[in-house]
Structure formats: structure tokens, C-alpha cells
């Protein structure tokens, strides 16, 4: 895993964007941010250095976190995607599927929890980079 890997965080809540950005930057990661799915998609298409997408599920606009994750899976299947949600995970039945289990991060979360799941996903994807 590259400790300076570039991570794209997406959330419409500015406080959470800043919180996650600070935690990740202090751990040595480069961070890009977007406040909606459309901004994030443009960054993903234009920026090849992104190594992980961390996105909220519920966002305004036509491109929420679930649809953004689906697009990423089609466009760049090797890019790990982590989904954040403040809702109960059983609100999203697909999260029971094993392929989605490692992708979910329940809000609120502790910085150590965030860093662990980011590190695990980057390590798992490192064989592609």
C-alpha cells in the first residue's frame, strides 16, 4: 500500500468532508473532495491517480453514492469504493451481500475505524496498481 495514495471523499456535509480530509491527510494520504456525485464522477474520469473512493450514500442530485459506486465499478472496477451512511445498514438490503460487506462504513465512525477500513481496501486493491 502506498501511504500517500490519493483518496476521493464525497459528502454533501462540509463538516464531515473536513473531518475525513484531516484524518486521512494526517495519516499521509493525499485527498481530493467533492460535495456531490457529479463532481466526484468528473474527478474520477479526469484523475487517474485516485486509488480509493469514499462516498456518502445519500446525497442531493441525480447521482447518489450507490449510483456513483455502480458507475465506478463499470468504468474502473479495480478502484475500491467505500460507502458511508448514517442510516441503519438494513435500510440497504444489498449490503448483506458479501461483495458489499467490506465497502460499508457506518456514521459516526472513529478515526481509527476509518483508517483501518481505508488501509484494508487499499491493500486489497494494491495488486492492480
Q: Residues 124, 81: contact at Cβ < 8 Å?
A: no
From its phi and psi, is residue 7 left (phi > 0), alpha (psi between -120 and 50) or beta? Answer: beta
33/99: higher pLDDT: 33
Give the pLDDT confidence of 84-115 residue by residue, as tens digits: 987 655 555 555 444 555 678 888 999 999 99
pLDDT in tens, 39-84: 999 999 998 899 999 999 988 888 999 899 999 989 999 999 999 9
- Distant-in-sequence, close-in-space partners of 18: CB < 8 Å, separation ≥ 6: none
Domains and CATH numbers, the chain: 6-128 (3.40.50.2300)
Q: What is the model's pLDDT at position 105? A: 86
pTM score, whole prediction: 0.87
Amino acid at each position: 500500500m502506498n501511504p500517500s495514495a490519493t483518496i476521493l471523499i464525497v459528502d454533501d456535509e462540509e463538516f464531515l468532508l473536513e473531518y475525513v480530509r484531516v484524518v486521512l491527510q494526517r495519516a499521509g494520504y493525499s485527498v481530493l473532495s467533492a460535495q456531490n456525485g457529479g463532481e466526484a464522477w468528473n474527478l474520477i474520469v479526469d484523475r487517474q491517480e485516485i486509488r480509493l473512493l469514499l462516498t456518502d450514500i445519500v446525497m442531493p442530485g441525480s447521482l447518489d453514492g450507490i449510483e456513483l459506486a455502480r458507475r465506478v465499478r463499470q468504468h474502473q472496477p479495480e478502484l475500491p469504493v467505500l460507502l458511508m451512511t448514517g442510516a441503519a445498514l438494513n435500510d440497504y438490503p444489498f449490503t448483506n451481500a458479501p461483495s458489499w460487506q467490506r465497502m460499508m462504513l457506518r456514521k459516526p465512525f472513529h478515526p481509527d475505524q476509518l483508517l483501518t477500513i481505508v488501509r484494508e481496501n487499499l491493500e486489497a486493491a494494491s495488486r492492480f496498481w
